[in-house]
Structure 1
């Protein structure tokens, strides 16, 4: 049966109540509820604040490429460091 046995959950609940106390667990539950409400409100606000999406641009012609490859021509040069005078 393992961890999903109801007897194990009862023992864990009793240990948690003894360690933290009922008052602290009650405060933790209300704080968690307020956090979830604030998160939901923020998610709804962000969705409502988004501006209308601009109209889509026309699709490129069949021969055009969206990202044309570019070649960069460069030559590496060796830089000599000045001799240290210690």
Structure 2
């Protein structure tokens, strides 16, 4: 896990709780999960129009 052991993970979690507060952590986790889920869906099913180049994109 990126060369991190359990003591480092615990320290990072404690610092995160101290900075953001215990009520804000679930909201941030939910937002991160939604972002990662959307990114994964786009990677699995890319929009066919995204690969096309447009000549008059500035217009």
TM-score tier after normalising by the smaller chain length: 0.5 to 0.7
C-alpha distance in 2, partners of 1:16/1:37? Answer: 22
Matches within 5 A, 1:59-74: none
Counterpart position of 2:38: 38
Alpha-carbon distance change, 33 to 5 in structure 1, aligned in 2, over 3 angstroms: closer
Distance 2:44 2:5 in 1: 39
Q: Structure 2: which 5+ runs fail to align?
A: 50-59
Root-mean-square deviation (CA), in Å? 2.6
1:1-86 superposed matches below 5 A: 4=4, 6-46=6-46, 49=48
Tell me the distance in 1 between the aligned counterparts of 2:28 and 2:20. 10
Alignment partners' CA distance in 1, 2:5 and 2:43: 37
Q: For structure 1, which runs of at least 5 residues remain unmatched after alignment? A: 51-86
- Partners of 1:43 and 1:11 in 2: how far apart? 33
- Count of aligned pairs between the two proteins: 47
Structure with the higher fraction of residues in helix conformation: 2
Q: Which has the larger radius of gyration?
A: 1
User: Deviations along 1:21-59, whole A, 9 cap, x unmatched?
Assistant: 112111111111100110111122217x48xxxxxxxxx
